Amino acid sequence: MSSSFPTANKPPFNPFGWLIAGIPVMDRYIIGELIPPFIFGVGAFSSIGVAIGVLFDLVRKITEAGLPLTLALEVFFLKLPYFISLAFPMSMLLACLIVYSRLSSDSELIALRSCGVSIYRLVLPAVLLGLIMTGITFVFNEAVVPAANRRATITLNRALKGNEPSFREKNILYQEFRKETTPSGERENVLSRIFYAREFNGKEMKGLNILDFSQNGLNQIVVAETATWNPIDKTWDFFNGTTYTIAPDGSFQGILRYKKQQLQLPRAPLDIATTTTDPIEMNIAQIRQYLATTGEGGNVKETRKLRLRIDQKISFPFVCLVFALVGSTLGVQPQRGGRRATSFGVSLVIIVFYYLFTSICEAFYQFGILSSLLAGWLPTLTILVAGVFILMRINR
């Protein structure tokens, strides 16, 4: 005789059931309420951004420059990830304001508070969701946005100019430094060579001038019509040029004209010429690699801008977490009536303040008042401190 158990009411197999079962019912409820307005916010804010930042310009290029519609659509969708990434923090703020304001106006938060749930525990689901979105935003900004923006630029330039200018075309300058020990025993950077090319067409450098200071003073000047990088020998091939040897007293010691000459110079000038310097087309690793390549010889203004962008790229994803804290904190305050109509307006005020303060910090950094680290993190930290202060005040 065999026994069997009824299986009609057995729940379907769920491989993530252990994870869901570990989340308290209140957290699941609040997070479930946050997701729909968050998705709505991403769609709304990214649509506004892409319409203002891309759509109008593409329409003008279609009508005035003859940009094909298919390529315009391709550029439009390639630009979309950038505005989606900008919408993540704003949508987090909007969702928290809407949901927590509704819970407060419907007295659901009062019921939870009467059961002994603290304010800190009420905002925890929003903070956790904000933390998750922080990680997603960081990965999205590093893996998707720069590549999509770069591809959009190349596609647009190829369509309008008939080429693919993935390189710097004019005035390539590279300064090579070496380490030397001073009489006091300290190590310092000393200029070794200056590499200058008037033009780069994607294959060869044109109008080259090399100043060699490797022997403690200007000792050689190399001038050439063109030069190309030789990947096999890992040298530069210079064509149709002249080498001037300089004596210690500054006079010409010798002049050598050549058709072709190989020089043992670093590949760095080619890396500088072929690397984009637009921060929205570079991730953090690419910016750091570019700064390491240019070293102390890079354009000072450009170098400072890129150093600031590194800190901003690191701090920006954490705005999702900060906005989640601020939005939920403002929303849990007791409400007599619904604030759904004003949530969007409050979000815009906070967002405008954040970006305005970001611009002010950038200006202070350019004037040397703030460091790149402080200028990149101060807007986020300011709103974080304000959110924590409001939260502690409400909890009293």
With CA atoms as reference, report the closest residue to 23 among 109, 101, 132, 97: 132
Cβ pair 222, 212 in contact under 8 A: yes
| Proportion of the chain above pLDDT 70, given as a percent | 88
pLDDT the model gives residue 19: 44
pLDDT per position as a tens digit, 177-195: 877 777 777 777 778 888 8
- Contacts by residues 23-31 (CB-CB < 8 Å, ≥ 24 positions apart): 26/112, 26/117, 26/125, 27/124, 27/125, 27/128, 30/99, 30/103, 30/122, 30/125, 30/126, 31/125, 31/128, 31/129
pLDDT per residue as tens digits for the range 233-277: 888 999 999 988 887 777 777 888 989 998 888 888 887 777 777
Residue ranges of domains in the chain: 22-161+310-395, 170-275
pTM of the model: 0.78
- 125-180 tens-digit pLDDT: 999 999 999 999 999 999 999 999 989 988 888 887 765 555 566 788 888 887 77
In whole angstroms, what is the distance from residue 82 CA to residue 52 CA? 13
Enclosing H/E stretch for 357:
helix 340-366
Q: What CA dihedral angle connects 9, 10, 11 and 17, to 10 degrees?
A: 150
